[in-house]
Structure 1
Amino acid sequence: MKMHVEAMFTHDRNMRLRAINEPWPGEPPAPRFFLGRTIEGSALCRFRYDVPETLARQLEELCADEPVVRDFQTKPKHFEAYMNLLQSERFTMGPCYLIPDTTLPAMEVVSVTRENVTELARGGFEWLASDIDYAQPCIALVREGRAVSICRSVRITSRAHEAGLETLEEFRGKGYAAAVVAGWARAVRNMKAAPLYSTLCDNLSSQRVARKSGLSFYGVNFTIV
């Protein structure tokens, strides 16, 4: 969970959140509050740099009382208190997975680079050309000479990468997403980093990929913006 939060957001020297850690140019602001609950029972919390210290300490005390998480649909024990203290109605929540070392692609996949992106991205992934240099590794499954499913690094640190997964609508449900996730994870492991995969509670298609791929569920992230 520590690798996850540090991949997702940039931090200052006091470990306060600064921005969303996108590899391409631009720094969207981080959420004001992050809570990561794990299946071991530990809870990790981080606060944005502009959250007052007194409020941060109140939130931290509540975090320390969070129980073991077993179902990623279960809201935090102190959900209402977090929302009230931060005077917010907007939150996100979703499961976090580690992609096991044994996960290998069941189909042939290829790396997408600056050299081949124009050819592979035609017919649905043209936007990929603008950030291909930043979102590496990028792995694709190719049909009829073009990419139909891609998985790339969308949050990057030296210790961990977070997966960003896209499959063209007409090619979904064929196992292509699981193949590119596995191929991407292999490329990330070759870089001596941990391949992480997270999604939102309402993203059912992404959760199906996680189940089909046998990913290792380790916790739930929760943020308040």
Structure 2
Amino acid sequence: MSDREQIKPTAHELMEMHVEAMFTHDRNMRIRTINEPWPGEPLAPRFFLGRTIEGSALCRFRYDVPETLARQLEELCADESVVRDFQTKPKHFEAYTNLLQSERFTMGPCYLIPHTTVPTMDVVGVTRENMTELLRGGFEWLISEIDYAQPCIALVREGRAVSVCRSVRITARAHEAGLETLEEFRGRGYAADVVAGWAKAVRNTECIPLYSTLCDNLSSQNVARKSGLSFYGVNFTIA
């Protein structure tokens, strides 16, 4: 077991890892683009707020948010409350949307995948060498991303992948999970196993495996609950 696994990061540290994984930053710690590992650089949201179960919160602003506005938002962020329910909007939700003149927001829970989370079924790594065989019949779209989204772990039935978890945001400290299960194979516990297998593969690289989703994604929250993931906070963005 590595030193990183022996010492569990705080909720605030995990939220820092999360925002670093989600977005690219400039030297002033302003966010610029969504940190996708494959080619292409979609623009980041203008505002990110990460609230934690410890009561701390952190915020990031896109590079084009005026400094005066950023300072106003930062003061509100410092006054946020402890997160207990991931469905609860930020304390200063209306102020954020008014200041940024936007109602377009996203919000969702963030989890750490504990090192005790292990798969109960056999899972396999998907690489360039075996992707043609494993990704046929539903996951062909993943072939163009396979070199970038590693580790990529699949649960296989009848010779093809039916559930896949892969790294969709990557830094030197942490990876964020991207999870997909073919519709006809959902509800069988496969997703929890590929998440566990992926987390193990990420830890083998000495990085922290993180899992986040949206408040309205009930199936993804189900996976988190069944897998016993450790809830550490809620992310909130305004476009």
* TM-score grouping bracket, smaller chain normalisation: over 0.9
User: Which ranges in structure 2 are unaligned for 5 or more consecutive residues?
Assistant: 1-14
Q: Give the aligned partner of residue 74 of structure 1.
A: 88
Q: 1:37 aligns with which of 51, 55, 60?
A: 51
Indicate yes or no: 2:29 matched with 1:15: yes
Q: Percent identity?
A: 88
Indicate yes or no: 2:104 matched with 1:90: yes
Q: Give the aligned partner of residue 178 of structure 1.
A: 192
Question: What SS class does the counterpart of residue 94 from structure 1 fall into?
Answer: strand
Q: Give the drift of 1:155.
A: 0.1
Alpha-carbon separation, structure 1, partners of 2:81 and 2:129: 49
Alpha-carbon separation, structure 2, partners of 1:209 and 1:167: 11
Per-residue CA shift, 1:104-134, capped at 9, x if unaligned? 0010000000011110000000001001000
Alpha-carbon separation, structure 2, partners of 1:60 and 1:91: 17
Q: How does 1:26-175 map to 2 (within 5 A)?
A: 26-175=40-189
Alpha-carbon separation, structure 1, partners of 2:106 and 2:120: 32
Per-residue CA shift, 1:68-105, capped at 9, x if unaligned? 00000000000000000000010000000000010000
Aligned alpha-carbon RMSD (Å): 0.3
Per-residue CA shift, 1:6-65, capped at 9, x if unaligned? 000000000000000000000000000000000000000000000000000000000000
| Equivalent position amino acid for 1:70 in 2 | R
**TM-score with structure 2 setting the length:** 0.94
| Equivalent position amino acid for 1:210 in 2 | A
Q: Give the aligned partner of residue 212 of structure 1.
A: 226
Alpha-carbon separation, structure 2, partners of 1:99 and 1:108: 18
Alpha-carbon separation, structure 2, partners of 1:89 and 1:220: 18
User: Which ranges in structure 1 are unaligned for 5 or more consecutive residues?
Assistant: none
Question: What SS class does the counterpart of residue 209 from structure 2 fall into?
Answer: strand
Alpha-carbon separation, structure 1, partners of 2:67 and 2:54: 28
Per-residue CA shift, 1:115-171, capped at 9, x if unaligned? 111100000000010010000000000000000000000000010000000000000
